[in-house]
Structure 1
Amino acid sequence: MFDSHFQTYEEAADPSLGAPRLKMLRARLKAMKLDGFLIPRADAHQNEYVAPCEERLAWLTGFTGSAGFAIVLADKAAMFVDGRYTIQAREQVDAKAFALVPLGETPPSEWLAKNAKKGARIGYDPWLHTNGQIARFETAAKKAEARLVAVEENPLDLLWEDRPTPPRGRVVLHPQKHAGEAAAKKLKRVAEMLSADALLVSDPHALAWAFNLRGGDVAHTPIALGYALIPRRGKPRLFLDPEKLNSRTANALGKLAHLSPPDFLPDALKELGAKKQKVLFDAGTAPERLARLFTEAGGQAEIGNDPIALMKARKNAAELAGARAAHLRDGVAMARFLCWFDKTAPRGRLTEIAAAQALETFRRESGELRDISFPTISAAGSHAALPHYRVTEKSNARIGKGVYLVDSGAQYPDGTTDVTRTLAVGRASKAASRANTLVLKGHIAIARAIFPEGTSGAQIDAFARRPLWEAGLDFDHGTGHGVGSYLSVHEGPQRISKLGGAALEPGMILSNEPGYYREGAFGIRIENLVAVEKRNIAGAEREMLGFETLTLVPIDLRLVEPKLLTNEEKAWLNAYHARVRAALSPFLDPAERAWLKKATKRIS
């Protein structure tokens, strides 16, 4: 089924409701003796995908993007979005109620410092912010001679009459054949790395990895919302809703950790605090509320990086084998879809939603699909110029002649996929073909990159941009994000970006997805997933690394201008297509194989 919850929620998050709901919120704040309130798009774990009951920002403003922030004051309100969502925010948010502020130009904390009145009391929900976030806002409040106030009850929750109930997705064990390592061994490794007395695991992805469990509490990512305390010595304590566990799962997890409901966590932290213990809180995901109550009880809170993040990012042999199997399966589904699309789209009746539904059907026919890994970006024509376009019943367009972009992925029990292809419907414009070829040159540059150990994603990000830069063009998103193993399609700390400071290490999986977007006309993106691997080079004086391309999907040659490619780039493209053809052909019917042969023909 095509992301039915997302569709329904977008329709419910009507931007025309922004002004009256804003008025209600201001009345509630006045009753609470507050002069303003901070509204992140977040849950208590800082998840990218949140449960419906956590969509406070969308309920208030109408904005349904995955990243945003709002500040409401007595006399003004601001909605902050980054470059990915500028156009979407214009369409979804009532600009008369909320001033739309580019996040890259004015961070929310700076806006607060300039706009909060002297003596103002600015409220915030301490479960929805990290220590670092609150520290920045406290600094801003001091500049304005205002004060931050933590609230016990979120005023939006008090106003949201039909707020959905918290999720209770079933927790399942992730088999060792896919995990590649027993949970007991992982937990032992984590404990051995700690200098603190214990680690609070607040990231559900880290929880899933460490305990070899998966869940169903949010869309598109198989995580269970919960926490864990992993001590340097002794048995861990796992905080999960018991209603999510059947007897088999509870027994298995009970051998690894003491099981408690999440409501028991605050008291557990207070007990550790009273014993003057030192606990490591993850800077990126731990709620400010938990760190504060721990320190108030007498504990020493160390705010730092959860070591599990880097351990999880380095995929082991079983996880890499699973990724290859998942991408082969996904490549077959994508090839079948692309063959079908080429026959169907030229008739002029195919819509963006229908195409996305068809793609999910092809994936489901594998028998292994657990979910799509994110809402499919199915974008025709000018919609493709929106990097994070989300089709709705209202925006659903027919796919006409020109360019169609489809960015999609799947969750399989052995791996997570994410692939983007830009397709020609009929004859594409020369401008689109040229832009596509420049993007392809950047994509190939990343795929062919060889670099020494210790190299960060920031150091190779420019490889993807150089062909565009030389034409006076660029794109406003990172070149690549990390990807999990049947976990989040967006995983850190690894990424290829101007801000990607983490060193790339063998086993890490990332996307390679340069793009170009001409507003009102078309958008281009070519995305494969790659795995970092060691490279043996004769005479090398340093350990060198490169990328193994995992994705097996044809790149549309109708949008490629061979004369713009170097001989080395043509050789890479021809070798990639030969590999795709050899891998996928055995799983396709005769008509699909004939289509694939043509789609992967050699260029010169």
Structure 2
Amino acid sequence: MFQSFDSAASPGQGPARLSALREAMHDAGLEGFIVPRADVYQGEYVAPGDARLEWLTGFTGSAGFCIALQEAAGVFIDGRYRTQVKAQVDLAHFSPVAWPEIRPGDWLRDNLSAGVVGFDPWLHTADEIARIEAALQGTAITLRPCDNLVDAIWPDRPAPPAKAIFLHADDLAGESAAAKRQRLGAELRKSGERVAVLTQPDSICWLLNIRGQDVPRNPVAQAFAFLFADDKVTLFTPRAGENGLAELLGPDVSLALPEAFSAALSALQGPVRLDRLTAPLALSQILSRAGVEARFGEDPCRLPKACKNPGEITHTREAHLRDGAAMAEFLCWLDREAPGDLTEIAVVRALEEFRRASNALFDISFDTICGAGPDGAIIHYRVTEETDRALQSGELLLVDSGAQYQDGTTDITRTIAIGDPGEEARICYTAVLRGMIAISRARWPRGLAGRDLDALARQHLWSLGLDYDHGTGHGVGAFLSVHEGPQRISRVSEVALQPGMILSNEPGYYREGAFGIRLENLIVVDAAEKLGDGRDQLSFETLTFAPFDRRLVLADQLSQAERAWLDAYHAEVLAKIGPRVSAETLSWLERACAPL
């Protein structure tokens, strides 16, 4: 599946669609309606028929929401998308709102004196709605669950996906599905719960050692499931009637169609575990009406999935070496051809071809971000035929890309000099690189969270009065979602880092209208060698192997330890990737990995 470059939505369509939504709101007796990015599975990546926010507003980012009122419409976006949103929505009809600095309850208080605001309870969690309602206490504004108004006005809404489910081999998974069910079933019995309702497709795919192709770039099958305390599972999927699926999953996994889910939920015997942060509010409402006891607790798959087992880590190392070879071939090609007559789209296509040459690529792990010059300052920029820009000498090129292989998921960003970008770009690049090295070299007491490490990546930018408006690292799955929770390196992450967790390490800096810089490797948490008084500590192992652009590094600004790390890293890149590339690329790689 090659990356396409057509623009899925445009600002010009937004006003008419907003007008239709307002008419539907009026007919429903509502003063407002909330349109989230999320689908019923609360996933970051959604199927085309669930892209309601994009359809309504034109905004294509992976996070955000719109609150439409009769006299105002706010598009709430975080720091990653504040440049992008201005180019994608009709600013005469939609107002970008800085979120989470401005929260939805506070915005409603400022823009609506009284009235009822509707929301689809299948698209919001209980926690999310509770926070908004708390902020509206003491006002004449109330929230009301209702049918989805966007679906009602979307005449050609795409049908739900229903592609085939396939097995993920036990060897690649590192543990059988039966062993996982037994382990998690024992946890439910210990907590006194009869069943956990699983609503996130990557959790279900991890638990059952299955994969699918329902969501672009993420090898998941969309489904809900019940995990019972006796280790059995009921899987709700449109493929329930397909020949061979029951045999594929085994006798302890029952199949049912999605249409049967609500009735089956009502018939459960409690206590029933729901994840307050990921389960749709509609689930607790259904259980409450049926008189079934519901308990809020964490998705039992979430943490075990995040902590990769030794088999998964071994396989993902191989996936990264394969990907590193493709990256080396690409960077060598780019160094030879750029700027020439290359455009951003030509670069994206070439990189995907180098990955496909391995004959192991299942798909890319997200649409490649390739921003030349000022486009690089759009943090999650996605090139289209309309925005495609030629590479020009004297600019920076930011390329953020990844691959889905059956033995691992990759995500790597490199910023490359096209000609001489100037001293200011080198100063900023070196500060970003120093932050990345700081995370790579970190060791810390067991029990600390990503928020405790985040400042390490920013310290050198802060000293220059600079910063970046995104987290430093996200979790990554094993042939699953490229963005995986609960682990993160960010100011707000309270989840303790544990061995086996794979994360990205990606500080950056973005100057609107000029350039963007981001450097990213994937890293895995590991037990650190005991030092000093023998405290239990953790550290990172680097999984990604590709050279940094030495032309952008101001070596005299690096400490001795930072230079040693970079030289050692480049030596390891050459040793691991060199035997896997062509003779021309090997010659280039030797120069790219030479000591400073």
TM-score (norm 2): 0.97
Matched AA of 1:397: R
Q: Decide whether aligned partners of structure 1 residues 592 and 246 sit closer, same or farther in structure 2, where only a CA change above 3 A counts.
A: farther
Conserved in 2, the CA contact under 8 Å of 1:327 and 1:552? yes
The corresponding residue for 1:392 is: 384
Q: Do structure 1's residue 236 and structure 2's residue 233 form an aligned pair?
A: yes
Q: How many residues align?
A: 592
- In the TM superposition, 1:567-582 aligns within 5 A as 567-582=560-575
Conserved in 2, the CA contact under 8 Å of 1:171 and 1:244? no
Q: Decide whether aligned partners of structure 1 residues 93 and 600 sit closer, same or farther in structure 2, where only a CA change above 3 A counts.
A: same
Displacement of 1:523 in angstroms is 1.1
The corresponding residue for 2:129 is: 134
Displacement of 1:357 in angstroms is 0.6
Following the alignment from structure 1 to structure 2, what is the Cα–Cα distance between the partners of residues 75 and 539?
63
For each residue in 1:12-48, what CA deviation from the matched residue of structure 2 results, as whole angstroms up to 9, or x when unmatched? 4121121111111111121222221111111001111
Following the alignment from structure 2 to structure 1, what is the Cα–Cα distance between the partners of residues 86 and 339?
32
Secondary structure of the 1:346 match is: coil
Following the alignment from structure 1 to structure 2, what is the Cα–Cα distance between the partners of residues 235 and 477?
40
Q: Do structure 1's residue 449 and structure 2's residue 464 form an aligned pair?
A: no
Following the alignment from structure 2 to structure 1, what is the Cα–Cα distance between the partners of residues 231 and 407?
31
The corresponding residue for 2:145 is: 150
Displacement of 1:254 in angstroms is 3.8
Q: Do structure 1's residue 406 and structure 2's residue 399 form an aligned pair?
A: yes
Matched AA of 2:374: S
Percent of aligned pairs sharing the same letter: 48
Following the alignment from structure 2 to structure 1, what is the Cα–Cα distance between the partners of residues 240 and 249?
14
Conserved in 1, the CA contact under 8 Å of 2:246 and 2:253? no
The corresponding residue for 1:318 is: 311
In structure 2, which of residues 57, 62, 86 is the aligned counterpart of residue 61 of structure 1?
A: 57
Displacement of 1:562 in angstroms is 0.6
Secondary structure of the 2:29 match is: coil
Conserved in 2, the CA contact under 8 Å of 1:40 and 1:68? yes
Following the alignment from structure 1 to structure 2, what is the Cα–Cα distance between the partners of residues 12 and 419?
25
Conserved in 2, the CA contact under 8 Å of 1:278 and 1:301? yes
The corresponding residue for 1:121 is: 116
The corresponding residue for 2:289 is: 296
Question: Which stretch of the first structure deviates more once superposed, 313-322 or 191-200?
Answer: 191-200
The corresponding residue for 1:94 is: 90
Following the alignment from structure 2 to structure 1, what is the Cα–Cα distance between the partners of residues 231 and 178?
12
Secondary structure of the 1:221 match is: coil
The corresponding residue for 2:371 is: 379
In structure 2, which of residues 512, 516, 520 is the aligned counterpart of residue 527 of structure 1?
A: 520
Conserved in 1, the CA contact under 8 Å of 2:323 and 2:355? yes
Q: Do structure 1's residue 500 and structure 2's residue 497 form an aligned pair?
A: no
Following the alignment from structure 1 to structure 2, what is the Cα–Cα distance between the partners of residues 572 and 141?
52
Q: Decide whether aligned partners of structure 1 residues 460 and 141 sit closer, same or farther in structure 2, where only a CA change above 3 A counts.
A: closer
Following the alignment from structure 1 to structure 2, what is the Cα–Cα distance between the partners of residues 358 and 245?
38
Following the alignment from structure 2 to structure 1, what is the Cα–Cα distance between the partners of residues 299 and 398?
36
Following the alignment from structure 1 to structure 2, what is the Cα–Cα distance between the partners of residues 53 and 77?
22
Displacement of 1:419 in angstroms is 0.3
For each residue in 1:369-392, what CA deviation from the matched residue of structure 2 results, as whole angstroms up to 9, or x when unmatched? 111111100010111111111111
- Consecutive unaligned residues of structure 1, counting only runs of 5 or more, are none
Matched AA of 1:64: T
Following the alignment from structure 1 to structure 2, what is the Cα–Cα distance between the partners of residues 561 and 44?
48
Conserved in 1, the CA contact under 8 Å of 2:523 and 2:542? yes
The corresponding residue for 2:539 is: 546
Conserved in 1, the CA contact under 8 Å of 2:83 and 2:512? no
Following the alignment from structure 1 to structure 2, what is the Cα–Cα distance between the partners of residues 222 and 283?
25
For each residue in 1:507-546, what CA deviation from the matched residue of structure 2 results, as whole angstroms up to 9, or x when unmatched? 1111111111111111111100001111113444211111
Following the alignment from structure 1 to structure 2, what is the Cα–Cα distance between the partners of residues 433 and 583?
28
Displacement of 1:284 in angstroms is 2.3
In structure 2, which of residues 255, 259, 267 is the aligned counterpart of residue 263 of structure 1?
A: 259
Q: Decide whether aligned partners of structure 1 residues 553 and 245 sit closer, same or farther in structure 2, where only a CA change above 3 A counts.
A: farther
For each residue in 1:533-572, what CA deviation from the matched residue of structure 2 results, as whole angstroms up to 9, or x when unmatched? 1111344421111111000101110100110011111111
Following the alignment from structure 1 to structure 2, what is the Cα–Cα distance between the partners of residues 323 and 384?
29
Displacement of 1:246 in angstroms is 4.7
For each residue in 1:362-411, what CA deviation from the matched residue of structure 2 results, as whole angstroms up to 9, or x when unmatched? 00111111111111000101111111111111111001112101000000
Conserved in 2, the CA contact under 8 Å of 1:141 and 1:148? no
For each residue in 1:420-479, what CA deviation from the matched residue of structure 2 results, as whole angstroms up to 9, or x when unmatched? 000011112101111111111111111111111111111111111111111211111111
Conserved in 1, the CA contact under 8 Å of 2:185 and 2:231? no
Q: Decide whether aligned partners of structure 1 residues 191 and 113 sit closer, same or farther in structure 2, where only a CA change above 3 A counts.
A: farther
Displacement of 1:142 in angstroms is 4.2
The corresponding residue for 2:40 is: 44
The corresponding residue for 1:18 is: 14
Following the alignment from structure 1 to structure 2, what is the Cα–Cα distance between the partners of residues 233 and 585?
50
Matched AA of 2:169: P
RMSD value over aligned CA atoms? 1.4
Conserved in 1, the CA contact under 8 Å of 2:32 and 2:68? yes
Secondary structure of the 2:45 match is: coil
Conserved in 1, the CA contact under 8 Å of 2:400 and 2:411? yes
In structure 2, which of residues 553, 557, 560 is the aligned counterpart of residue 564 of structure 1?
A: 557
Conserved in 1, the CA contact under 8 Å of 2:488 and 2:503? yes
Conserved in 2, the CA contact under 8 Å of 1:113 and 1:143? no
The corresponding residue for 1:219 is: 216
Following the alignment from structure 1 to structure 2, what is the Cα–Cα distance between the partners of residues 459 and 181?
32
- Consecutive unaligned residues of structure 2, counting only runs of 5 or more, are none
Matched AA of 1:130: T
Following the alignment from structure 1 to structure 2, what is the Cα–Cα distance between the partners of residues 346 and 74?
49
Matched AA of 1:546: S
TM-score (norm 1): 0.96
The corresponding residue for 1:183 is: 177
Conserved in 2, the CA contact under 8 Å of 1:116 and 1:144? no
Displacement of 1:96 in angstroms is 1.3
Following the alignment from structure 2 to structure 1, what is the Cα–Cα distance between the partners of residues 533 and 488?
26
Conserved in 2, the CA contact under 8 Å of 1:533 and 1:547? yes
Following the alignment from structure 1 to structure 2, what is the Cα–Cα distance between the partners of residues 361 and 98?
39
- In the TM superposition, 1:429-444 aligns within 5 A as 429-444=422-437
Q: Decide whether aligned partners of structure 1 residues 234 and 582 sit closer, same or farther in structure 2, where only a CA change above 3 A counts.
A: closer
For each residue in 1:213-236, what CA deviation from the matched residue of structure 2 results, as whole angstroms up to 9, or x when unmatched? 101110111111111111113622
Following the alignment from structure 1 to structure 2, what is the Cα–Cα distance between the partners of residues 296 and 543?
48
Matched AA of 1:507: G
Following the alignment from structure 1 to structure 2, what is the Cα–Cα distance between the partners of residues 373 and 246?
30
Matched AA of 1:553: A
Following the alignment from structure 1 to structure 2, what is the Cα–Cα distance between the partners of residues 424 and 57?
36
Following the alignment from structure 1 to structure 2, what is the Cα–Cα distance between the partners of residues 143 and 50?
36
Matched AA of 1:210: L
Conserved in 2, the CA contact under 8 Å of 1:68 and 1:82? yes
